[in-house]
């Protein structure tokens, strides 16, 4: 197929479908063909579901002939393999769930299904969303479409790479400490982490329940807004789903940003950041100023503790959440064990990968007797201070602008032996999860080697519309989103 439909936006695809220029079946088949031809070099998909996708496409075409209209009707999408999908294996890229086929949809998946979307398959990720590079999948690493020797970011690396490679116009991922925004930045696409509680977590296989959030990847800010429209709503199946009204998030797009105050936190421009990243982000901020925004230097003084706090809180919750995978009820069970203790031990040893085991052990340690107060309890108090930092900052500014990552995509294998350096890849994204606020990454330039650079925007809780307004204003003044990787 040509690149044209592969790199079309949701709005463009919907216009083509409405005008009868193509059918959903034709569009879906074209993308399935592209995935078959090119994904062997990238590994974005863990499993492609062509039969189900074409059935959904035929149903969408029939619904359109009967007069149904929906922004996502007949649009092919991809789903991160951590979102329960009825009748389709959902493994979290882990051997311990390799045979798990959910009998139900996650609420976000169900809402897309109701909107008439077509599901192409399940996307690769770091096992149980624990990683920053998509190298910790039990099945295969995912490679960056801009340079296949480099990582796409993680944990939603497959979701970001699929959009960048033109396999899907949009995908869903999850963000626990940056797992949407970081791979979006490294793959040159737009990624949105909504406010905690804005999108239901029902059917999202848990990593850290107070941090996890589902959100979209897309080629443009407008496409992210369209997906957010579909998935954002209070859900009685999720007790943490917030009773806060949603709106049409496309209505804010196109509004000028003159008079808005954009905060620039001094703690996010640090020693060790790649010069090209800092230069691109500062140019982006200057562009916002040229559009009439007021740039205000601010301080988020507890930022330096964010990584430590995150890796205490997140691993503690992971230790608890992953205790359910013991070989007794569902998931992998080791064969030939002599007693229940051996079954537990061998099932978890053989079923979990090294990074997951590392985080379970860290979490169990900080929750153990004698260490709870020294680590976990103290981390919760500092998490409150980080949240207060943002609350104080948003009394002075409307949005905050930062780099999404301190560097561009690193080479596959480069940081596998240095977990701390890997964890620092999320140094600029973690705080938003700890505070529960929305964050968005969008392209703001490329290095001389042609690697994408991301601008991160943060807003107060439930102010996704403001976030999208500012992001769209910047995006429209540049053509970064129109660039495409060269795929053989």
Catalytic positions are 80, 155, 179
Which structure tokens are listed for 409? Answer: 């995509």
CA distance 404 to 211: 18
Is 433:310 a contact under the CB 8 Å cutoff?
yes
Structure tokens at 469: 């307004």
Report whether 407 contacts 271 (CB < 8 A).
no
d(CA 328, CA 339): 12
Helix (H) / strand (E) containing 78:
strand 76-80
Q: Print the SS3 string covering 164-221.
A: HCCCCCEEEEECCCCCCHHHHHHHCCEEEECCCCCECCCCECCCCCCCCCEEEEECCH
Please give the C-alpha separations between residue 259 and each of 97, 290, 352, in angstroms, as whole numbers. Answer: 51, 11, 51
Return the percent helix, strand and coil in the chain, to nearest 5: 45, 15, 45
Query: ∠ at Cα 133 (325, 208), nearest 5°?
Result: 40
Torsion sign (Cα): 51, 57, 59, 62? negative
Residues contacting 388, CB < 8 A, separation 6+: none
Angle of CA points 451, 172, 105, to nearest 5°: 160
The sign of the torsion formed by the CA atoms of 457, 84, 131, 172 equals negative
Q: Which residues contact 6 (CB under 8 A, 6 or more apart)?
A: 30, 31, 34, 166, 167
Which residue has 């979102």 as its token pair? 83
Beta-sheet strands, E only, within 226-349: 261-265, 294-298
Question: How far are the Cα atoms of 24, 53, 65, 77, 440 from residue 62, in angstroms, in the given order?
Answer: 10, 14, 5, 19, 36
């Amino acid at each position: 197929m040509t690149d044209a439909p592969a790199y079309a936006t949701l709005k463009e695809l919907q216009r083509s479908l409405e005008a009868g220029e193509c059918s959903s079946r034709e569009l879906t088949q074209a993308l399935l063909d592209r995935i078959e031809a090119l994904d062997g070099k990238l590994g974005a998909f863990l499993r492609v579901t062509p039969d189900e996708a074409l059935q959904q496409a035929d149903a969408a075409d029939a619904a359109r002939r009967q007069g149904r209209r929906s922004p996502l009707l007949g649009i092919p999408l991809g789903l991160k393999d951590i979102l329960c999908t009825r009748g389709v294996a959902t493994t979290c890229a882990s051997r311990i769930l390799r045979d798990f086929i959910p009998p139900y949809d996650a609420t976000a998946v169900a809402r897309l299904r109701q909107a008439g979307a077509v599901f192409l398959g399940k996307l690769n990720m770091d096992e149980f969303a624990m990683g920053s590079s998509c190298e910790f999948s039990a099945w295969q690493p995912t490679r960056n479409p801009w340079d296949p020797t480099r990582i796409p970011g993680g944990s939603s690396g497959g979701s970001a790479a699929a959009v960048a490679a033109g396999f899907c116009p949009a995908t869903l991922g999850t963000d626990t400490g940056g797992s949407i925004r970081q791979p979006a930045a490294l793959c040159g696409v737009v990624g949105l982490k909504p406010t905690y509680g804005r999108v239901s977590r029902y059917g999202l296989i848990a990593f850290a329940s107070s941090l996890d959030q589902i959100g979209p990847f897309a080629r443009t800010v407008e496409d992210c807004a369209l997906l957010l429209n579909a998935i954002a709503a209070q859900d009685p199946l999720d007790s943490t789903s917030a009773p806060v009204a949603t709106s049409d998030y496309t209505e804010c797009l196109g509004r000028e940003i003159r008079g808005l105050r954009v905060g620039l936190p001094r703690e996010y421009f640090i020693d060790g950041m790649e010069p090209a990243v800092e230069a691109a982000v500062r140019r982006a901020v200057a562009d916002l100023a040229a559009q009439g925004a007021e740039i205000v230097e601010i301080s988020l003084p507890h930022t330096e503790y964010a990584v430590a706090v995150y890796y205490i809180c997140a691993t503690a919750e992971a230790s608890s959440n992953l205790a359910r995978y013991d070989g007794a009820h569902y998931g992998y069970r080791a064969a030939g064990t002599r007693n229940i203790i051996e079954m537990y031990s061998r099932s978890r040893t053989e079923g979990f990968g090294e990074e997951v085991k590392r985080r379970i052990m860290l979490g169990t340690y900080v929750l153990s007797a004698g260490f709870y107060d020294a680590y976990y309890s103290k981390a919760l108090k500092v998490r409150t201070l980080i949240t207060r930092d943002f609350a104080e900052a948003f009394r002075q500014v409307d949005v905050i602008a930062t780099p999404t990552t301190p560097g561009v995509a690193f080479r596959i294998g480069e940081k596998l032996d240095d977990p701390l350096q890997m964890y620092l890849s999320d140094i600029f994204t973690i705080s938003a999860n700890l505070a529960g606020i929305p964050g968005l990454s969008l392209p703001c330039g490329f290095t001389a080697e042609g690697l994408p650079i991301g601008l991160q925007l943060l807003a107060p809780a439930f102010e996704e519309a403001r976030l999208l307004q500012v992001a769209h204003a910047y995006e429209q003044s540049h053509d970064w989103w129109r660039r495409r990787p060269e795929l053989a």
